[in-house]
């Protein structure tokens, strides 16, 4: 019985600390403020969609996408690894541990204005 309990704890813990490799994301040409967060939690976020989705969604705090030198006014197609609940790798500085993305490669960078973005525009940050 104890072995089953430890096996359950191990499997449950694996769900809390995970890495999704090779996600392809389209990153919008501007950062946005998520209106669903409180004023205290409001910070610029990347807006993204996957190649097979038509609606934009909020990705993550722009400070937690490592290795990505974002330039407003360009729409990017990138490949990135997503780390959930994991301490940052060596050389990655974060205020707290938690979710973050690590850029694998930029597939394309195109000058354009992304359309139909959610949330509020971010003035120069």
Cα–Cα distance between 110 and 13 in angstroms, integer?
A: 40
Q: Determine the Cα–Cα distance for residues 15 and 78; give it in Å rounded to an integer.
A: 25
pLDDT at 1: 47
pLDDT at res. 33:
85
Q: What pLDDT, on the 0 to 100 scale, is given for residue 123? A: 72
Give the global pTM. 0.72
Which residue numbers in the chain have pLDDT < 70? 1-21, 39-41, 52, 85-98, 124-125
Under 8 Å between Cβ of 85 and 48: no
Q: What is the pLDDT of residue 4?
A: 36
Cα–Cα distance, 79 to 65 (Å, whole number): 12
């Amino acid at each position: 019985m104890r072995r089953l309990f430890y096996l359950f704890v191990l499997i449950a813990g694996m769900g809390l600390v995970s890495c999704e490799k090779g996600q392809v994301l389209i990153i919008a040409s501007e950062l946005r403020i998520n209106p669903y967060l409180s004023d205290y939690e409001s910070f610029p976020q990347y807006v993204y969609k996957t190649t097979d989705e038509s609606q934009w969604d909020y990705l993550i705090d722009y400070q937690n996408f490592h290795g990505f030198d974002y330039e407003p006014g360009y729409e990017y197609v990138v490949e990135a690894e997503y780390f959930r609940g994991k301490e940052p790798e060596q050389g990655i500085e974060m205020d707290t541990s938690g979710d973050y993305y690590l850029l694998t490669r930029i597939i394309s960078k195109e000058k354009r204005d992304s359309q139909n973005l959610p949330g509020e525009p971010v003035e120069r940050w």
